[in-house]
Amino acid sequence: MSTLWQNALLIAQDDEHGSTPFRADVRIDGDRITAVDAPYAPTSALAGDADAPRSIVDATHLLITPGLVNAHTHSWEILVRGTSDPLPLEIWTLLSYPPTGVEPLPERLIYLRTMVAAIESLLGGTTALLDDVGELPDQSPSTIAQVYAAYDAAGIRATCTGVGIDVPIVDRLPFADEVLPAEILRASRESMPPSADVQDAYFGFCAAARALTTGRPRLRFAVAPSAPQRVTDELLVRAAAEARAEGEVLHLHLLETRAQQTLARTRYAGRTIVEHLDELGVLGPNVTLAHGIWLTAGDLELIAASGATVVHNPLSNLKLGSGVLGWRALHDAGVRVALGTDGASSNDTMRMLDVVKATAGLHTLTDPDYRTWPTVDEVLHAATVAGARAAGWGDEVGSIAPGRKADLVLYDLTAGTAFTPLNDAAQQLVFAENGSSIHQVWVDGRLVVEDGRCTRIDADALLAEFREAAGVYLAEALPRWRAFQSEMEPFVREAYLRATASEGHENEEDHR
């Protein structure tokens, strides 16, 4: 199937134009973009197999952009969106992820939950996401098979992880031995199996999950030791070696909160986490680091030299009070920055255009020198080109150029008010558009959204089924999670307050 859009307004994010809009014809054949030509280039551009189905569209009223890439999210949290006010990560986690001993989710509920993530993403112009799935209490080949099945059916491009954690929950908190009762410490430590057993289970799972992507061109697997403070060095090094050998993304959370920075100072005496990761040989161009808020200037140099990507999640960081990433310092150091929504209960949506706008605005608060503020070009680059790299698609997606995958969003410039009057499509995309002008979304050369509806699934039926099934599950599960959070909150609060009050935090001016 070939499609030719004539005289479209393009934001191509290619090397030549960046985010500067220009008029062009765009042609796709199969799953690829095959031509970007001057407007009304001879329709012989569609020559080739004369019998091939083809369509030619007058796109004068359309803005065509690369699909947005959500480089860090957790579809798991769809289940618990809207369950809490803003809270620090350490306390929020107690409710958003279930305590040990709960029943696993029914597999159909995993499928439906993932479907909500796919629908919300696609309708908002996101064509690819990196889903750090976080299946608890237990992940297995059959649970991630449900995740893949949902993304496959909806037609989105997805890189999915399984999460490896072999450090007991109490030992991921600073001051744990001082603030937690001995009984809780003992129970938590005893509940964590030996690291060797966790590793065997985890890497076995990775092999099975990886195999499930075979022959499915829009699905990939990524190795995800959750965060340096949640895993042993042995697991981390093995994960890094495996990701490198398989040509996969290695996905980590990194220095999201001050409490994590405090913990790091006790765990890696005299060094930062990033220095430790560098010494272990974990960093590299395939590494995607979510958050990266509490970094030193030296950390930025190491990350930049490694070619790793930092994923900025401004709305999650605001809701969890995590801090503000050093946007200008990262860019000045040469660190690649992508954007993510983070999970659906720390944001609580997967709408990337919200993140794009928040990014463009947030960093005006931290430095009065307006010359350091994010530019629209930087923000759109982060949401497309850099995101594609972060999610493991290299240069295949993220821009509109011949040879790239046909992952496209078509906005109708005349459908609503966001592009009226049309002054600068890139500025208006970042600051005025909220997704309501989206006419079509294409992934891998296939039409997946048209005029507000997913074309490959019955979204209404799936959402209705999810509302019912989620309601049944949560009626039983959520009170138990809330009880766990209430029980633990006083102790975790004490650790959090001590950490945020303690001396010696890296100077915030350092990275802004």
Q: State both tokens at 84.
A: 């809490």
Q: What is the DSSP string of 137-159?
A: S---HHHHHHHHHHHHHHT-EEE
For the purposes of burial, counting CB atoms within 10 Å of the CB of 276, is it exposed (0-12), middle (13-18) or buried (19 or more)?
middle
Interface characters, 40-79, with Zn ion (x: CB under 5 A):
----------------------------------------
Nearest approach in angstroms of CB 256 to Zn ion is 7
Choices 151-159, 162-170, 337-345, 463-471; region in contact with Zn ion by CB under 5 A: 337-345
Least distance (Å) between residue 322 CB and Zn ion? 10
Which residue lies nearer to Zn ion by CB, 3 or 257?
257
Closest CA relative to residue 250, chosen from 224, 275, 229: 224
3-state secondary structure string across 47-110: CCCCCCCEEEEECCCEEEEECEEEEEECHHHHHHCCCCCCCCHHHHHHHHCCCCCCCCCCHHHH
List the one residue out of 262, 342, 330, 249 whose CA is nearest residue 292.
Answer: 330
Q: Name the minimum Å distance from CB 255 to Zn ion.
A: 12
The tokens describing 36, both together, are 């970007």
Binding mask 247-286 for Zn ion (x = CB under 5 A): ----------------------------------------
- Residues in contact with Zn ion, total (CB under 5 A)? 1
Are 114 and 156 contacting, i.e. CB atoms less than 8 angstroms apart? Answer: no
How many Cβ atoms sit within 10 Å of the Cβ of residue 191? 12
Smallest CA-to-CA distance from 226 within 145, 269, 169 is with 169
CB 74 to Zn ion: min, Å: 6
Burial state string for 81-119 with b = 16 or more CB within 10 A and e = fewer than 16: bebbeebbbbbbbbbbbbbeebeebeeebbbbbbbbbbb
Q: How far is the CB of 342 from Zn ion (least distance, A)?
A: 5
**Which one of the spans 189-197, 342-350, 407-415, 453-461 is the region binding Zn ion (CB under 5 A)?**
342-350
Residue 79 Cβ vs Zn ion, minimum distance, rounded to whole Å: 15
Cβ proximity to Zn ion, 120 vs 342, nearer residue: 342
Of the pair 132, 378, the CB lying nearest Zn ion is at 132
Q: How far is the CB of 326 from Zn ion (least distance, A)?
A: 19
Q: Which of 355/443 has CB closer to Zn ion?
A: 355
Q: Which is nearer to Zn ion, 312 or 381 (CB)?
A: 312
Rounded to whole angstroms, the Cα distance separating 323 from 256 reads: 8
Choose one: 39-47, 170-178, 234-242, 338-346; the region binding Zn ion (CB under 5 A).
Answer: 338-346
Q: Are strands 336-339 and 309-312 parallel, antiparallel or unpaired?
A: parallel
CB of 387 to Zn ion, least distance (A): 15
Q: For residue 47, what are the contacts with CB-CB under 8 A and spacing of at least 6?
A: none
The smaller minimum CB distance to Zn ion, of residues 209 and 311, is found at: 311
Smallest distance from the beta carbon of 368 to Zn ion, in angstroms?
31
CA terminus-to-terminus distance, the chain: 49
How far apart CA 357 and CA 364 sit, in angstroms, is 12
Q: Which is nearer to Zn ion, 135 or 342 (CB)?
A: 342
CB of 311 to Zn ion, least distance (A): 9
Contact, 35 vs 302, CB < 8 A? no
Least distance between Zn ion and beta carbon 346 (Å): 7
Restricted to residues 212-241, the positions that interact with Zn ion (CB under 5 A) are none
Q: Among 168-176, 261-269, 339-347, 442-450, which window interacts with Zn ion (CB under 5 A)?
A: 339-347
Cβ proximity to Zn ion, 116 vs 180, nearer residue: 116
With contacts defined by CB under 5 A, name the span among 106-114, 164-172, 237-245, 335-343 that binds Zn ion: 335-343
**Nearer to Zn ion among residue 163 and residue 441 (C-beta):** 163
Would you say 218 or 251 has its CB closer to Zn ion?
251
Q: Which two tokens stand for residue 329?
A: 């310092």
Nearer to Zn ion, 84 or 440 (CB): 84
Per the CB < 8 A criterion, the answer to whether 2 and 445 are in contact is no
| 3-state DSSP assignment of residue 317 | helix
Q: Which residues contact Zn ion by CB under 5 A?
A: 342
